Amino acid sequence: MSDTETPDGVRLRLDIAYDGAAFSGWARQPGLRTVQGALETALATVFTRWGEPPLLTVAGRTDAGVHATGQVAHLDLAPEQWEALRAKRGSTGRSPLDGLVKRVNGIAAPDGDVVVTRASVAPEGFDARFSPLWRRYQYRVADADSPRDPRRRGHTTWHPTRLDPAAMERGALTLLGLHDFATFCKPREGATTIRTLQEFRWDREPDGTLVASLQADAFCHSMVRAMVGATIAVGEGRFGAERLEELRTAQQRTSEFKVAPARGLTLTEVGYPADDELAARAEQTRARRTDDGSADAPDPGTVGG
């Protein structure tokens, strides 16, 4: 028995991608199609004969319409479930985890709008939600200087006027660092809005599309799209970068800018520490952040969008 297999079962890591257009976000909701709901229903079908169906813990719950190419989740299999999975290998020669990926994908989304790209036995101490060091997003905007590619309309926001990416970059720089981002977060009872924004930049791709890249230890509810919307307002010339810093410092929701639409946003990557640091990082993250940064990371329950 390896150090990732215990008498209590096995923890698996799932790497996941999805097109958020047809989903009401990640989190399971009664009567709505969600990414978690689709995947957990598939897992319940796979393990229907072996105890309670496994549930998913995700790195970050994305909002309705938000996409992902680098989402991460974990699930815990009971010993009998792990043994049943290994027994499925049979004569095909396929590894049990490859077989699990194929079955879950076939059940969850035959049309492929959600795909488990990889399943692996998680290292000791791994927690998809609490172990990350950072999350990374991209946001795509086609302004008046960009092409209108109908093939990418579901993943790019079309903006009717010309934007100034240099001004947007200046605005983005005023948001970097450890701050209370209450101005950009939808309030949730008991949830902190203090985050460390590690990267926020705007680039224009060769085809003219503007792409924002953002990285933080975690993002609170609506934070990414609100910050994108605020810098778009700077790019339109509605106010300068210095006003964006003033709004951040005020720590109050405002109507001076609009939250950007969900369709332009994609969770691209979740970063984890070295395997021997996973458990310590998870414990560290569970501490609520304080204003002076004495706790190293916030509750990451909602990070997406």
Tell me whether residue 63 is one of the annotated catalytic residues.
yes
SS3 29: coil
- Which one-letter amino acid corresponds to residue 119? A
Nearest to 215, CA basis, from 227, 231, 232: 227
* Region label for 264, one of left (φ > 0), alpha (ψ between -120 and 50) or beta (otherwise): alpha
Q: β-strand 265-271 against 67-77: which pairing, if any? A: parallel
**Are 115 and 18 spatial neighbours (Cβ–Cβ below 8 Å)?**
yes
Catalytic, out of 15, 63, 217, 299:
63
Nearest-10 Cα torsion for 87, 88, 92, 97:
-100
Q: What are phi and psi of 5, to 5 degrees?
A: -115, 125
Nearest to 12, CA basis, from 123, 139, 147: 123
**Are 86 and 99 spatial neighbours (Cβ–Cβ below 8 Å)?**
no
Nearest to 100, CA basis, from 211, 10, 219: 10
Sole residue written with tokens 């450890």: 178
The total number of residues written for the chain in this structure: 305
**Helix (H), strand (E) at residue 37:** helix 35-46
Catalytic residue positions? 63
